Amino acid sequence: MSQTTPSPDSLTIALLGEAVLRQHAGAVQLPDPQVSQLAEGMRRKMDDQGGVGIAAPQVHHSLALMIIASRPNARYPDAPQMEPLVMANPRIEAQSTEQEMGWEGCLSVPGIRGRVCRPLWVEVSFDDLCGQRHHTRLKGFVARIFCHEFDHLCGLTFLDRVEDNRDLMATEVWLREGQS
């Protein structure tokens, strides 16, 4: 890792408009204690903010590192429960042609929800923090989280996937009126 890793608690969330969110993230070499430390900091940040996923560019590190962590919480009451999964150098190997619409939010885009089309399932490969390659199949909301975080590694946010501005809502209204 070329950048100096700050302590986990000093990580700050990159917000829409910051250049790091538009860059293609670089591959990480593993194992690397600094990458493990960064992943730990990302996990804590995600937990603090009630997120169900986070990508390294969101904490100002343009590295191909992300966490998916579906669990029910105030932001996503219907989310399935899973152990947080740290994924380095992820790739989409295959995906369903069938897609479904669903609401997404993003720690880097505060205050806005958007309805976005995502595949029903994805087959992905990734490295764990030891550098071991894994293959797995993700479906439904977990596949959606993966695709959302994977987009961050490609310099995209969910706003780039919103096809109609009428699919955008203020989070405050979304929480008050529910999703349709």
Q: Give the residue numbers marked as catalytic.
A: 149
**CA 135 to mean position of chain CA atoms:** 18
Measured at CB, which residue is nearest to Zn ion? 106
Q: Classify residue 4 by burial, with Cβ atoms within 10 Å: 0-12, 13-18, 19+.
A: exposed
| Tokens describing residue 177 | 């009126």
Point out which span in 4-12, 60-68, 99-107, 131-139 binds Zn ion (CB under 5 A): 99-107
Q: Does 13 bind Zn ion (CB under 5 A)?
A: no
46, 106, 124, 142: which one binds Zn ion (CB under 5 A): 106
Q: Where are the beta strands (DSSP E) in the chain?
A: 53-55, 65-68, 85-95, 99-106, 109-119, 121-127, 133-139, 168-170
Nearest residue (CB) to Zn ion, 100 versus 160 = 160
- Tokens 């670089």 map to which residue? 26
Number of residues that bind Zn ion (CB under 5 A): 1
Nearest residue (CB) to Zn ion, 106 versus 112 = 106
Of 129, 4, 141, the C-alpha closest to 70 is: 141
Point out which span in 35-43, 105-113, 136-144, 161-169 binds Zn ion (CB under 5 A): 105-113
Nearest residue (CB) to Zn ion, 89 versus 157 = 157
Q: Does 87 bind Zn ion (CB under 5 A)?
A: no
Positions in the binding site for Zn ion (CB under 5 A)? 106
